[in-house]
Amino acid sequence: MAEQTVVFISGTSSGIGKALAEYYLAKPNHTVIGSIRNSSAPSVAELKSFKPASDSSLLLVHIESTSTDDPKKALVAIEEAGIKHIDIVYANAGGSPPVVALEDVPVADFLSSFQTNALAPLVLFQTLRPLLQKSKAPKWASISSISGSIGMMGTLGTHITVAYGASKATLNWLTR
């Protein structure tokens, strides 16, 4: 039997993260590790009830993006589950504060956006790197946004997402 393909996806309780988790769970011989914030959310119950393909399984771990300790605790749970490598990481979890003009945007919006959208993926990378290095073909994918493109700000009008856009531009820089 072929070695399991192990996929880590942050933010699997909804949206892109949930869709990615279901996609990989529908493939045979995959282990999906999904990070969630709230284990009692209805969308998490839906994900838990998803019927995986043959020899595929789901492991949910708690990671709150503002915590620098949660990824380390999740790594312990991953290793305790007997997982020895990770092939693909999707740094997907993120968030956006309300849209506020540059002259009015609170510093707190910048701090929370940078913590969630740039620093949390960095900490996740630093934590999971040893397991990624054990993969035969490791892959890292940061889920960003057109709002993080400095070159397209004027064309697309993304300058209105001040804190979010700046944090996604930072994520793009870190990923590169």
- Hey, where are the domains in the chain? 5-175
* Active site (annotated) includes residue 164: yes
pLDDT of residue 1: 58
Q: Which two tokens stand for residue 141?
A: 């994918």
User: Across-strand partners of 58?
Assistant: 32
pLDDT of residue 23: 98
pLDDT of residue 59: 98
CATH 3.40.50.300 for the 5-175 domain, yes or no: no
In the predicted model, is pLDDT for residue 91 greater than 70? yes
In the predicted model, is pLDDT for residue 17 greater than 80? yes
pLDDT in tens, 136-166: 999 999 999 888 888 877 777 767 788 999 9
In the predicted model, is pLDDT for residue 176 greater than 90? yes
CB 96 within 8 A of CB 164: yes
- In sequence order, what are the residues at sequence separation of 6 or more whose Cβ sits closer than 8 angstroms to the Cβ of residue 168? 94, 117, 118, 144, 145, 147, 148
Per-residue pLDDT, averaged over 40-58, amounts to: 96
> Crossing angle, helix 120-133 and helix 162-175, to 10 degrees?
20
- pTM equals 0.93
Per-residue pLDDT, averaged over 35-49, amounts to: 95
| Cα 166 to chain centroid, rounded | 18
CB 83 within 8 A of CB 33: yes
More confident residue, 5 or 3: 5
SS3 49: helix
CB 31 within 8 A of CB 38: no
In the predicted model, is pLDDT for residue 2 greater than 80? no
In the predicted model, is pLDDT for residue 89 greater than 90? yes
Which of 18, 24, 90, 168 is labelled catalytic? 168
In the predicted model, is pLDDT for residue 103 greater than 80? yes
Which of 18, 24, 90, 164 is labelled catalytic? 164
Could you tell me the CA-to-CA distances from 34 to 40, 41, 44 in Å, in that order?
14, 14, 10
pLDDT of residue 150: 82
Q: Which two tokens stand for residue 68?
A: 């620098």
pLDDT in tens, 50-83: 999 999 999 999 999 999 999 999 999 999 999 9
